[in-house]
Each structure stands twice: as C-alpha cells, then as structure tokens.
Structure 1
Amino acid sequence: MGSKSEPEAEPESDPAAVAQRLREGMASGVLSFPLTSLRSDGSLDLESYRSYLTAQLATGPGAVFPACGTGEFFSLDEEEYRGVVRVTVEVADGRMPVVAGVGYGWAQALRFARIAEEEGADALLGMPHYLVEASQDGLVEQVRRIAGGTRLPLIAYQRGQVTFDAGALRRIAEIPTVIGLKDGHSDLDRLQRLTLAAPEGFLFFNGASTAEMQARAYATVGVPAYSSAVHAFAPEIADAFFSALREKDDAAVDRLLRDFYVPLVELRDRVPGYAVSLVKAAARLRGLPVGPVRAPLTDPGPDDTAELRRVLTAGLKLATELRRTA
C-alpha cells in the first residue's frame, strides 16, 4: 500500500486536465456506473468484478464511476471500497477517467477519498450526505470540507436532500478542485439557472434514474452528458441510444424509449430500490457475474424477473436492428 502513495504512482490530479478528459469522454460515450459483484452470501467477489468490468470497459464508455449508487457504495466498508477502486483503476489502465464515489458526512467521505487517492482514482463523485436536511451554507461547507481534504478533483452530486441554488453553485465552483455537478433532480428550470450561473468550462451531467428517459430534455438546457445504468447490463442498448441521440435520429430515439426504456421504468417504479436491483437482475439474466444486491435492497421475484426478461429481449433485438440499419 505504501508504494501507492509515492509521487510516481499518483494519477493525474490537475483539475483542469481531469475536467478536459471527462469533457472529451462525455462527448464520445456514455458514463459507466458499474455494478459491484457479490457472492451469494453477500461477500465481495473481486475476481468476478474484474471479469465483469473488463467486458464493460471494452465497449468504450467515456468514463467509469466505480462504487457509486449503482455500485452499492452505501453497503461497502472501507476495505471493500479499496478493492473495488483498485480493480477499476487496473482494468481501466488509463484508457478513461476513473471517478470514485465518496459520501456520508464530510469526515467519512474523506476517509474514502484518501483510499481513492491511494488506489489511483482520477477524481471523486461526492454523493449526497446522510439523513439530515441542510441550508445552502451547510451544503457549500460540506463540499468545501471534502474538496479541501483531498488533492483529487471533485464532482458534486445533487439528489435527495441536496439541492444547490445558483448562489451556492457559484460558491462551490470557486473551489479550485471542484470541477462539476451531477444532477439527479430533473428540475430543468433550476438546472438552467445553475448552468447560467456556472463559470465557463464547469461540467454538468444528467444523473437522473434511467437518465436516457430525460436526455433530450436535459440537452435543451445545455446538459447533453448523462450517466447510464443500462450500460451496466446492456451496453449495446446504451450505445444505440447514445448514437441515436448524438446523430439527432429522433425516430430511433423514440423507438428505444417506447419499446425498451419506458417499459423498464414502469417496472422499475413498482418497488423502492429497483433502480439498482433491476439493473443487477438484468445483468444476471445476461450471465454477467454480479451476484445479488445487499440489504436493504431486495432482488426482484419471479414475476418481475420474467417481465424484465421480456423488456430486455425487446431492447436487445431493437439495438441489433438499429445497428444493422446504421
């Protein structure tokens, strides 16, 4: 572990350079939020994770975000987190930025941030803090504390109880190592105000659940980049949607939304936590070595799994058709 902290082993941490790599990646592919592989008893399976992640990254996403929401960060202890970040950095091998999730209160977030530094991550995603509501001053101070305790660039994430106003956004954007904001609220009026308040070059991306459903709307306020949970189990579908959106092929976008994404979201909305559980179940249906979810999440039952299989089959068939006609 000691060699990881020596200067020659450190990743590129210049905020402007990392931001530029992320900007280029966002323009070229979806942002990948991989699942974390677990055994049937719930223990971490890094060998399976390496196999799964190797296949995921071979599809060429714009960046990879390990140990975030889809990766069940909320259920990982610090040593498990270390293993996930380490394997991700090894598999990515410099081909794309690695942005590791950190969260809870700022003190705990910094414990994860230091692990991410040691294991060679390029940047951090600061996920919403735990439990309490907070003022705008408190939200800014939370970001400031995390950013001030690590040399890695930081992307803030507004979702749940975290919502920045334009004034707070300007304040966090003044922090030298804060390079962007991930939005999970889908309040486009507020988001437009934030993009207008931000300095030039500040990164924004759509982090709504099943972000493709709102990708066109986000693009209208200047936020075309998005994360894709679908990439975690069906990169063929995620890439087909990304290509259709980039090429402004509205007919293909509509077909993918109507025949795959809308049925997936309708199934997702049946049970709390399905935003992650269904993703993992879909990956298992494809034979990917990801295992079950951890409590408090629950895996879908037979009926929902059968419906998921039908939705997935339709999506893969459509992605194949679109690829043939491209």
Structure 2
Amino acid sequence: MTNERQTPKGILGFPITPYNERGNICEKSLSKNIEFLLDEGLEAIFIACGSGEFNAISTKEYESMVELATSEVNGRVPVYTGVGGNLSTALDQAKVSEKHGVDGYLVLPPYLINSEQDGLYEYYKTIVGSTELNAIVYQRANAVLQLETLEKLVEFPQVVGLKDGIGNMELNVELTQTIGRRLRWLNGMPMAEVTMPAYVQLGFDSYSSAISNYIPHISRLFYESLLNNDMHTVQDIYQDVILPISQIRKQRSGYAISLIKAGMEIVGLPVENTVRPPVTPVEKEHYEQLEKILKTAFDKYPAKIATN
C-alpha cells in the first residue's frame, strides 16, 4: 500500500442480523455470531451491511448494532460498517460509525437511482469527505465506477479499497492494473469462493464469505488451498460444498441473506431462519438440501476442535 492506513485482508466476516420471536434484533445472538467469527480467525467484521439486512434496519437499530460490534470486537480486528442508500442517511450512518470508533465503512449504492459517473463521484465524494474513517467503495447494482471516476476518488486518502460485486472482469483488469496497490481489492461477488480463483490473479486478496457464518473452517481451507495452488483440494471443496450451496442460493431472490441464517441454524448457532420482508425464509425443500450438504461437509472436512 502507498498510504499508511491499514486495510482488511483475507476472509472478511459479515454478520447477519438475528431476530427474536417478536421480530426485534436479538443482541445475544448477534454477539454470538460475531464471537464465532472472531474465534474462527476472520480478519475483519463488517456490521450492518448487505448480509446484515442493511435495507431493513432502523437508524436506532443500526447504532445499537454498531455499538455492540465495536464492544464485542474490542480492537481484536478492524470493524467496518455499511453506509449508503440516500445521501442524508448515509452521512448520518457515517457519523454514527465515527462516534463509535469503527475503522471504516463500506459505501453501499445510492438508493435506486441510476446516475452518470459525475453523480456517482459526488455521492462517494460527499460520504468519504464527511469523516476521516477508511472508506471502501462498492461496485454493485446501480453503482459501477469507471476508471476515470475511481482515479479521482483515490485522491482522497480515506479511500482504501474497492469491493467488486459486479463481475465485469474487463473493467476489473483495467482498474487493478492501472491503480494497483494504492487500493486493496475485495471480491464481493455472490458466493465469492466461486469466482475467487479468477480474482486472485488480478490482485484481489480479500473477500466476503457468506458460508463463513456457519462453516468458516471450510472457507479457510478453500482459501489456503487456493493460495498454495492445491487445486485438488479446491476442486473437491467446489464439488462437495461450494457449488451445491451456490445452486440452492440461486433458487430464490433473497437467499443471499436467508440461506446464511438457515446454515447457521443447522449447525446449532442461536439464529432462527427468520428475516424481514421483502426477504423470505428458506423454504423447507431447500433447507433440507442444505442440511445434507452440510452433513457431507462436516463428514469430509471436520472442523478442528479447539484445545485451549
């Protein structure tokens, strides 16, 4: 990196937002989710982002989640928040994040609007310039930065990374090979393990792993095998775990969130398969399919038992 700011590297944890029987956030379950990710060695915690149902939580809930996450993590790894949507809300969230001492935030797309590059630049510029926190810009949906726009944004020292959820590899080549190590590059594609072999070659050394919420040891085994060029293990994990889960995920819109909760419930974490509309819970047929995949996963790739 050409600046002194520290940025997340490796497998990044994105906790979900668990609800109790009354539909309110269950802070005890959220704490357990975060602690589980920390115990499993994930390199950063991203709270109240996409998998945390950023779209469905109130301002008050947002702040309580940020406060809980910073307290739970207590400096062990970087904590990032999600900010975005309409500009006023994003600025409020940035201030809340700064108030609670997080390390930075992931800037999510503006609300619905498709804009020109100048408009996207002003959106990101306004948010990034509102605090001194690290900022990671997110290529997703209606927010896709072209090279010229990103080159202007990296003039802000706060901009430390780009997370790609689009999968336009021609654009990714252009961005990574022009801007290089000035930014950290994060793979944010759906089921990022599916595409990580291609992304590693471009310099992406971080990714958000949905399955790390319930089988983080397999996320770790996959990534270490990939980096060590152990393609036999990579292919086995693809066939046994990653591609089958990816196939379920594709069955319904919203499974990017609810399938994580189902997986967590199956492995015994205190999370129920409940979500807020418009997302829907995982259907029984798909839930049972996931149970079978996870049984195979634990049989073939057992988690190591902690000795301390």
TM-score, reference length from structure 1: 0.89
Structure-2 separation of matches of 1:303 and 1:288: 21
Residue 311 of structure 1: which of 268, 271, 293 is its match? 293
Q: Which residue in 1 is equivalent to 2:6?
A: 20
**RMSD, aligned α-carbons:** 1.7
Q: Which residue in 1 is equivalent to 2:111?
A: 130
- Measured after TM superposition, the shift of residue 30 of structure 1 is 0.8
* Residues 1:241 and 2:222 aligned together: yes
Amino acid at match of 2:294: L
| Cα offsets for 1:278-309 (capped at 9, x unmatched) | 11111111121223111110001211110011
Residue 80 of structure 2: which of 92, 99, 108 is its match? 99
Structure-1 separation of matches of 2:223 and 2:275: 27
Contact 2:7 2:160 in 1 (8 A): no
Q: Identity of counterpart residues, as a percentage? A: 33
- SS at 2:232's partner residue? helix
Structure-1 separation of matches of 2:88 and 2:29: 31
Amino acid at match of 1:98: V
Q: Which residue in 2 is equivalent to 1:145?
A: 126
* Residues 1:296 and 2:268 aligned together: no
- SS at 1:198's partner residue? helix
- SS at 1:70's partner residue? helix
Residue 198 of structure 1: which of 164, 168, 179 is its match? 179
Alpha-carbon spacing, 1:37–1:310, altered in 2? closer, same or farther (3 Å): same
Contact 1:240 1:322 in 2 (8 A): no
- Measured after TM superposition, the shift of residue 108 of structure 1 is 1.0
Amino acid at match of 1:208: M
List structure 1 segments (4+ residues) > 4 angstroms apart after TM superposition. none
- SS at 1:275's partner residue? helix
Q: Which residue in 2 is equivalent to 1:60?
A: 41
Structure-2 separation of matches of 1:49 and 1:213: 27
* Residues 1:320 and 2:302 aligned together: yes
Amino acid at match of 2:298: L
Structure-2 separation of matches of 1:273 and 1:197: 35
- Measured after TM superposition, the shift of residue 140 of structure 1 is 0.8
Contact 2:7 2:184 in 1 (8 A): no
Q: Which residue in 2 is equivalent to 1:71?
A: 52
* Residues 1:261 and 2:238 aligned together: no
Amino acid at match of 1:203: R
Residue 202 of structure 2: which of 221, 231, 236 is its match? 221
Q: Which residue in 2 is equivalent to 1:86?
A: 67
- Measured after TM superposition, the shift of residue 200 of structure 1 is 3.5
Alpha-carbon spacing, 1:287–1:136, altered in 2? closer, same or farther (3 Å): same
- SS at 2:51's partner residue? coil
Contact 1:173 1:199 in 2 (8 A): no
- SS at 1:127's partner residue? strand
Contact 2:138 2:162 in 1 (8 A): yes
- Measured after TM superposition, the shift of residue 193 of structure 1 is 0.4
Equivalenced residues, count? 303
Unmatched tracts of structure 1, length 5 or more: 1-14
Amino acid at match of 1:100: T
Amino acid at match of 1:111: D
| Cα offsets for 1:199-244 (capped at 9, x unmatched) | 5331111000100000001112221321111111211211111221
Structure-1 separation of matches of 2:41 and 2:112: 36
Alpha-carbon spacing, 1:71–1:198, altered in 2? closer, same or farther (3 Å): same
Contact 1:64 1:98 in 2 (8 A): yes
Contact 1:104 1:128 in 2 (8 A): yes
- SS at 2:186's partner residue? strand
* Residues 1:187 and 2:168 aligned together: yes
Amino acid at match of 1:270: Q
Contact 1:256 1:318 in 2 (8 A): no
Amino acid at match of 1:302: K
- SS at 1:169's partner residue? helix
Q: Which residue in 2 is equivalent to 1:11?
A: none
Structure-2 separation of matches of 1:322 and 1:37: 26
Structure-2 separation of matches of 1:47 and 1:286: 17
Higher helix share: 1
- Measured after TM superposition, the shift of residue 321 of structure 1 is 8.7
TM-score, reference length from structure 2: 0.94
Contact 1:153 1:179 in 2 (8 A): yes
Unmatched tracts of structure 2, length 5 or more: none
Q: Which residue in 1 is equivalent to 2:90?
A: 109
**Equivalent residues in 2 for 1:3-14 (5 A)?**
none
